[in-house]
Amino acid sequence: MSEAALSIKSVDKIYEGRGKGPVHAVKNLDMDVQRGEIVALLGSSGCGKTSTLRMIAGFEEVTRGDIVLEGRRVNQMPPARRKVAMAFEGYSLYPPLTVRDNIAFALKSARMSPKDAQKSVADVARILEIEPILDRYPSSISGGEQQRASLARALVRQADLYLLDEPMGQLEPRLRAVLRGRLKSLLVDRRMTAIFVTHDQTEANALADRVAVMEGGVLQQFASQKDLRERPANLYVATFVGEPPMNVFESKVTNGDRVRFAIDNGPTFDFADSDIPQSVRSAIGGRDKVVIGIRPHAVRLGVGSDHARIVSNQWLGDQSHLAMEVAGKLMVAVSHAPIPARAGESLRFGVSASDLHVFDASTTAALSHGLEAA
């Protein structure tokens, strides 16, 4: 039996279009999720994340490939038999039951004693702050409350896998950070295996051990949020992940006695060959054009040989965002402390070799991250 709680093996999903031709929503997806792991499927709308979740749940047929849950191939198994608990949009609460009875319903059918069931409901209600609405009916509570009630209903169940669709999407800001923390604590403490879909990278990063970034039906990268940020596999991931995302510039590269990146219509970053390890130089090879990337937190301010005009310098309470005009666009630098500079002034900036990301200009695949080849 496989170690993984879930294996998605070479899965395709093709919707036969009505009149318009088929839509290839998920392309050759391979993914393993370990027991106790929390995984986010992250992407913009139409990226294939929701189709993937619905195939795992059994709401959509798999066009090609296999879905294996706890060692069992489940392609043909109906949703109710898959031992998955779900909180989905459209998988709504039963209108004739109170929120409490909705949550307890699955526990009764699992033959849990009424006393234990009441305790489970009370615990999850406290965690998600829905105690005051437990005796209300779904039609009389807000959208955000319905979402939390539906989440509670999934979380109280015993299941091999928890599938959650935008679990915290509608929460008001006041509750969001605390509830995310409590939800993560619950999932981690009970070693629940969970997969959730979100378009919000803040939510993905906060909750997930690993994040699967999807775009155009293709899995772009499946890694920890730290790796997504520090070792993005391609330009799509580099410019999608990160708040704000990586600054990227097309540049000419000279890979000789010195390594020079000359940004089109912008500055040149010039490194001694000793600054750039051989592995990185080999990865760049004989290319004469690449795309270089610098994370906003890695832009060094007040040092370096280049100047740029400051477009804005905005303090947001716990961080500063400074925008400079570089090569006809904005380069953003972010600092945890206020930056003593004013819009309109000119400021020196630079980048360390250890913070420079290099991407192939045509395939967009990463070539190197700092001092390591990709």
Partner 1 sequence: MANLELRSVSKAFKTGKVLDRISLAADNGEIVAIFGPSGSGKTVLLRLIAGVEQPDEGTILLGGRDVTDQAPETRGVGMAFQNFALFPHMSAFDNVASALTAHKVPRDVIRAKVEKVATLLKIEHVLGHAPRELSNGQKQRTALARALVAEPKILLLDDPLRNVDAKLRYEMRLELPSLLKASGSTVLYVTQDYKEAMALGDRIAVLSDRDFAQIARPAEIYRTPATLNVASLFGDPTINLMPVEPVASSGGPRIGIGGAELSLPRDYGHMAGKACVLGLRAENIVVEDVGTPESLPVAVVAVTPLNERTLLLLRTDDGRELLASEAGTNEAPRRHGPAFARFDPGAVLLFDPASGRRILPQAA
Binding site for partner 1 (CB under 8 A): 173-174, 176-178, 180-182, 184-185, 188, 202, 205-207, 224-226, 229, 242-244, 297, 311-312, 314-319, 321, 323, 330, 332, 334, 336, 343-344
Q: Who contacts 99 (Cβ-Cβ below 8 Å, separation ≥6)?
A: 93, 130, 133, 134, 135, 136, 137, 138, 141, 145, 149, 152
Which one, 203 or 360, has the nearer CB to partner 1?
Answer: 203
Closer to partner 1 by CB, 96 or 328: give it: 328
Q: Which is nearer to partner 1, 73 or 329 (CB)?
A: 329
- Of 84 and 211, nearer to partner 1 (C-beta) is 211
Give the nearest distance from C-beta 54 to partner 1 in angstroms.
Answer: 25
**Residues 153 and 117 sit within 8 Å (Cβ to Cβ):** no
Rounded Cα–Cα distance for residues 295 and 248 (Å) = 9
User: Which CB atom, from 283 or from 308, has the smaller least distance to partner 1?
Assistant: 308
In the complex, minimum distance from the CB of residue 183 to partner 1, in angstroms, rounded to a whole number = 8
Instruction: Give the separation between CA 85 and CA 159, rounded to whole angstroms.
Output: 6
Phi first, then psi, for residue 324 (nearest 5°) are -125, 155
Q: How far is the CB of 243 from partner 1 (least distance, A)?
A: 5
Residues in the chain: 374
Cβ-based nearer residue to partner 1, 156 or 207: 207
Q: C-beta of 89: minimal distance to partner 1 in Å?
A: 21
Q: How many CB atoms lie within 10 A of CB 363?
A: 10
Q: Give dist(CA 127, CA 178) in Å, integer.
A: 10
Q: How many whole angstroms separate alpha carbon 25 and alpha carbon 216?
A: 7
Nearest approach in angstroms of CB 211 to partner 1 is 11
User: CB of 178: closest distance to partner 1 in angstroms?
Assistant: 6
